[in-house]
Every structure is written in C-alpha cells, then in structure tokens.
Amino acid sequence: MTNCDHTLCKTSALKEAERVCEQLGARFTDQRRNVFEILWQSHKAMTAADIMNEMTNKQPPITYRALEFLKKSGLIHHVTSLNAYVGCIHAKDPNHIGQLLICTNCHNIDEIEPKKAVSELIKAAKNQDFTPSLTHIEMLGICKTCNNATS
C-alpha cells in the first residue's frame, strides 16, 4: 500500500496474526513473530535470505519453518514472480484470493481484491478442466511511487 500510516498497518497485522494463531490453536512463537515483524517493516517483498539476515536466530531451518507456517495460515503470501514473501493485508479472510500488484522496480506489493474478476478467471480456468490451486494472482508492473519518480 502506498501512502499508508505504516505503524497502523503493522499493529493491525500483528493483532490479526495473534488472533489467527489462537484460532488455529497454534502458538505465535518468538521465531514466527520475528519473521512476521521483519516482513512487516514495509510492504516490500523480501527473500528468505533477506529475512534470515535480520533474524535474531539466523539458522536457516528456523526462518523456513516460520515462513511455511505463516504462509499456510494465510498471514503472508509467497510472491512466486520474485521468489520472495510479503505480509498479507487481507489476513482476516484466510480463503481470499488476493490480486498482488508487484512493482518490478522497488518490489513494493499492493494487494487488491477484485472478487468478481478473480472468480471469472477461476471459472474460465475450470472450463478448461484446469484446477487452480492458488492463494493469489500476481501482476507485474510499476508502482505509483516509481512511476512518479521517473516522470
């Protein structure tokens, strides 16, 4: 999200994560929280290596396990195009299919929910006897901030 009050984004994301964990009967362990807070420093996608660099405990399995948990719980998205991760802004709805707008210049990720367009797309895929297994759709482009910087 551009022009956000990011302290608010981060606080509400953390609250949401705690609630989701409670609902799942899972613990929001220090490692999970550590990964989550690193990711929520901004809306930019980060690779596992970037995240690991900032972890208190830099052992790779710890970061990977925490990432896997957060992804499965719908709290973060794995951005396939960048092989990186980003916090989800719609974590309230674990079954949502977000549309990620990925800036290829600064790796900022915005997430919109064009529900009708997405369901049309899924319907079209199913008409081809294709079974989609997705949590989000990715669109590459240039974000507003980067656009303004070049014009």
Binding site for Zn ion (CB under 5 A): 1, 4, 6, 9, 88, 90, 98, 103, 105-106, 108, 143, 146
Least distance in angstroms from the C-beta of 57 to Zn ion: 26
Residue 8 amino acid letter: L
Least distance in angstroms from the C-beta of 78 to Zn ion: 11
39, 109 Cβ separation under 8 angstroms: no
Residue 65 amino acid letter: R
Nearer CB in complex with Zn ion: 14/106: 106
Q: How far apart are CA 128 and CA 1, in angstroms?
A: 34
Q: Which of 91, 86, 81 is nearest to 113 (CA)?
A: 91
Q: How far apart are CA 137 and CA 61, in angstroms?
A: 27
Residue 34 amino acid letter: N
Least distance in angstroms from the C-beta of 95 to Zn ion: 10
Nearer CB in complex with Zn ion: 55/146: 146
Least distance in angstroms from the C-beta of 13 to Zn ion: 9
Nearer CB in complex with Zn ion: 28/98: 98
Nearer CB in complex with Zn ion: 57/81: 81
